[in-house]
Structure 1
Amino acid sequence: MYAPRSPPPSPTSRQLAIIRFGLARIVPIDDEAPFAEIAAAAGLGEVHVRRLIRHAISQHVFQEPRPGVATHSAAPRLIAEDADLAAWVRWRADDCWIAAYHACEAVARWPGSEEPNETGFAVANPTSLTMFDFLATQPERASRFAAGMRLYAAHSDLDLQYLVKAWSWGELPKGATVVDVGGSHGEAAIALARAYPSLSFVPADVGGRIRYMIHDFFTEQPVHGADVYLYRACFHDWSHRYAVRMLQALIPALKAGARVILNDVVVPGPEEMSPGLAAGVRTGDLGMMILFNAGDSEMAEWARLFEAASSGFHFKGGKGHRAQGCGFWRQSGRDIVHS
């Protein structure tokens, strides 16, 4: 008589074990380690370590050159050598996985919610805070998320050259002011300032033409009368309801003819995506729902967002690109004029 087999372990469980217990760091980079030594260093039982590592080996993670001995393959070696990558894998395999597990409970508990604290992440932890507010109370987990964002920002598809070339910045009048809303450390403003010396920027100092300012983009924009307000990867963290609020907070600062430039995700229509591309795009979109009750938008949805915010916005469309090997299309520039 045979018992039914349990479902196979997911790759995520293997990743979590390797990262949480530091198995990649324990195995010497250019040497080998017996399972018994790895178990002792990790504070685990040898039987458990043997099973975890041999399952990983079946997926080309680690090697077993002879029975009971592990060496690195490319993947765990990279994790051992790159602290940011290790932190990001931990974030994905631990924090995100548990949030995804609770996503169905969240959508059942709060049907149709657009609130950022009514998510799979909120159920998993549990908390009544948004993910960002919760991470502010959890320094170690926040550092894992920050490490992942550093890796994400380094992706070729997010190279600032696309932003610099996406729009006719050079046609702005000399001394024109560009406000990089939610600009973090100012990387976008610095890149634009170097390419267009005649412009001034608000969010690092490049010849005195860039200044930082603390601002909550859900409150009224303090810099009035600027020529351009740039939002780079700000909106897809927020649901439609909050994105409308973000834009409406900007309106009192806008002069006639001011432009709003977005550099953000544009989801292709279903007919434009191959199955392989669709898998990556839909997974990313679902991830935003699980963490934030947000998501990525098609071009028509971007247009409707500005219509909902104010009849004074005139959506001028945009252009996109997709880097080779990347599962996202990026909107390099979207021009909205406010009258």
Structure 2
Amino acid sequence: MAARTIEELREIINRTSTKLSNDLKNQGIPSPTVNNTVARPSFESIDLNASRELLDAVREVEALVMGPQKMLTYMAVIYHDVTSLGALLEFNIPALVPLEGTVSISSLASQSGLSEDKLTRFIRYAATNFIFCEPLPGIIGHTAASAALARDPAFCNFLRWLTVDLAAVQASIPVAAKKWPLTEKMNECAVNYASGTNGNFWQWMNGDPVRQSRFHQAIAGHAGGGGGLKGRSLDVEAYPWAEKLGRKAVVVDVGGGSGYFSRALALAYPEFTITVQDRAAAFSASAARSDKPSNLNFQEHDFFTPQPLRDADAYFLRHILHDWPRAEAVSILRNLLPALKPGARVLVSEHLMPGGERGESLLEDKMIRQVDMQMMGVLNSKERTTEDYAALFQEADKRLKFRVKYQLPEDKKSWIFEAVWETDS
């Protein structure tokens, strides 16, 4: 996408903001501000394309008007966006502010145990990002963003993991890259530099019960999030399961954790037989639920060992391969091969990394590249392009043929990559 002049950007902003304004009126929704605390539909749920076009234009205007020096200076200290939010979450400040009304900073300091001086500075910095407002000096109220935090403790757990537990790791990416410029080893990346551990991320995380608990809380908070997509299982919707696999398909959810996805699939396709494989600790609570679907099973399995369930119609890996560098990702795929019957599908659900081209939305591209940088920092892994996944399948075995990828229009970052096991005739 070519860069635009301020006149071209003005036209885009006028057109898209007018479209969204008219949509609000037509749906009887009052036009909100960033300080409105009443939950409302997101602009993306009203008109996805207009919202994304407007966001991209506004971001480009900001860069154009700020100029290079000011923009780069702001970028160099943007980690304080992270530190201020992380501090507010660590002290549970959003939950301490009433959803209706206001509270004094001194009262919040007393309740939280944080000094009034530091709390004031954290809040006033966060307010520059529209998190909290200060209608009177020393008196704090919610904005739309801070109210969203107060209403969703699970989402706060996810954000706290990113802004507190992983902040030092991500900030160490440049020095880790300097120390280990060519490696793909999982124990030679930013998590090692920041923490001093000699193990990989999983060993570092599992070595501390408190850290491990916060990680699992973060995963649960992330699984339940997604703004306008909240509560939907996109993988169930994105792939034509019965059409491709048959009405009574057998599906293995490899590394499926608690079975969040497989439960949704089992309910959507009651004639399927579905098995979640992971560590027993990951799924024990789900397996014991009284409302577990009758067509949903659980099995302890390490995906670095040969697949024990043979002749399934599909082996599904959701957000697994992006956790591992190339060699380990290929090993995971190769351990499926002995179980595959002719025509079996290997389905990989992951974010799609853009190549050198710019996609339809600059902001969406940036978000997926942020995830990619995070994978570099904690695992020395990466998000991958379509070509990367095709190459992984081929490196695992040339008979594992990448055929097609599927997505939902509402979530252009996430795709299901389908490979088919094609044996020689």
TM-score by length of 1: 0.86
User: CA 1:166–1:9 in structure 2 vs 1: closer, same or farther (change >3 Å)?
Assistant: closer
What is the Cα deviation at residue 11 of structure 1? Answer: 0.9
More displaced 10-residue stretch of structure 1: 313-322 or 217-226: 313-322
Q: Matched residues in 1 for 2:78 and 2:219: separation?
A: 30
| Corresponding residue SS for 1:213 | strand
1:107-165 CA distance string (max 9 Å, x none): 22222322222221222122123222322233333333323322332332894354355
On the 8 A contact 2:176/2:188 being kept in 1, the answer is: yes
Question: Which residue of 362, 368, 371 maps to 1:275?
Answer: 362
* Alignment-derived partner of residue 220 in structure 1: 306
More displaced 10-residue stretch of structure 1: 140-149 or 157-166: 157-166
What is the Cα deviation at residue 175 of structure 1? Answer: 4.8
Question: Which residue of 291, 297, 303 maps to 2:378?
Answer: 291
Q: Report the residue type matching 2:389 in the other structure.
A: W
On the 8 A contact 1:164/1:191 being kept in 2, the answer is: no
Q: Matched residues in 1 for 2:241 and 2:116: separation?
A: 62
The 5-angstrom pairing of residues 111-150 of structure 1 reads 111-150=181-220
On the 8 A contact 1:85/1:147 being kept in 2, the answer is: no
Which 4+ residue blocks in structure 1 deviate beyond 6 angstroms?
none
* Alignment-derived partner of residue 188 in structure 1: 261
On the 8 A contact 2:131/2:143 being kept in 1, the answer is: yes
What is the Cα deviation at residue 9 of structure 1? Answer: 6.8
Q: How many residues align?
A: 331
1:262-319 CA distance string (max 9 Å, x none): 2222223332514333222211211111111111111111111011111221221223
Q: Matched residues in 1 for 2:126 and 2:406: separation?
A: 42
Q: Matched residues in 2 for 1:89 and 1:172: separation?
A: 37
Pair 1:169 & 2:242 matched: yes
TM-score by length of 2: 0.70
Q: Tell me, which stretches of 5 or more residues in structure 2 are unaligned?
A: 1-75, 277-286
Q: Matched residues in 2 for 1:176 and 1:59: separation?
A: 49
1:20-48 CA distance string (max 9 Å, x none): 23333333443433333333333333333
Pair 1:257 & 2:343 matched: yes
Q: Matched residues in 2 for 1:264 and 1:7: separation?
A: 31
Q: Matched residues in 1 for 2:176 and 2:323: separation?
A: 17
What is the Cα deviation at residue 168 of structure 1? Answer: 4.7
The 5-angstrom pairing of residues 74-85 of structure 1 reads 74-85=144-155
What is the Cα deviation at residue 219 of structure 1? Answer: 0.9
The 5-angstrom pairing of residues 224-239 of structure 1 reads 224-239=310-325
Q: Matched residues in 1 for 2:384 and 2:94: separation?
A: 38
User: CA 1:29–1:223 in structure 2 vs 1: closer, same or farther (change >3 Å)?
Assistant: same
Question: Which residue of 316, 320, 325 maps to 2:403?
Answer: 316
More displaced 10-residue stretch of structure 1: 286-295 or 275-284: 275-284
Q: Matched residues in 1 for 2:141 and 2:234: separation?
A: 40
Pair 1:200 & 2:267 matched: no
| Corresponding residue SS for 1:244 | helix
What is the Cα deviation at residue 196 of structure 1? Answer: 3.4
The 5-angstrom pairing of residues 9-24 of structure 1 reads 10-24=80-94
What is the Cα deviation at residue 176 of structure 1? Answer: 4.2
* Alignment-derived partner of residue 41 in structure 2: none
User: CA 1:123–1:189 in structure 2 vs 1: closer, same or farther (change >3 Å)?
Assistant: same
User: CA 1:8–1:228 in structure 2 vs 1: closer, same or farther (change >3 Å)?
Assistant: closer
On the 8 A contact 1:217/1:249 being kept in 2, the answer is: yes
On the 8 A contact 1:99/1:124 being kept in 2, the answer is: yes
More displaced 10-residue stretch of structure 1: 288-297 or 262-271: 262-271
* Alignment-derived partner of residue 3 in structure 1: none
| Corresponding residue SS for 1:319 | strand
On the 8 A contact 2:95/2:150 being kept in 1, the answer is: yes
Q: Report the residue type matching 1:190 in the other structure.
A: R
Q: Matched residues in 2 for 1:189 and 1:38: separation?
A: 42
On the 8 A contact 1:322/1:330 being kept in 2, the answer is: no
Q: Matched residues in 1 for 2:366 and 2:401: separation?
A: 33
User: CA 1:26–1:163 in structure 2 vs 1: closer, same or farther (change >3 Å)?
Assistant: closer
* Alignment-derived partner of residue 37 in structure 1: 107
What is the Cα deviation at residue 240 of structure 1? Answer: 1.0
Q: Matched residues in 2 for 1:117 and 1:18: separation?
A: 31
RMSD of Structure 2 on Structure 1 (CA): 2.7
Q: Matched residues in 1 for 2:422 and 2:91: separation?
A: 54
User: CA 1:253–1:13 in structure 2 vs 1: closer, same or farther (change >3 Å)?
Assistant: same
Identity percentage of aligned residues:
29
User: CA 1:265–1:8 in structure 2 vs 1: closer, same or farther (change >3 Å)?
Assistant: closer
Pair 1:58 & 2:144 matched: no
User: CA 1:9–1:198 in structure 2 vs 1: closer, same or farther (change >3 Å)?
Assistant: closer
On the 8 A contact 1:166/1:333 being kept in 2, the answer is: no
Q: Tell me, which stretches of 5 or more residues in structure 1 are unaligned?
A: 1-5
On the 8 A contact 1:268/1:329 being kept in 2, the answer is: no
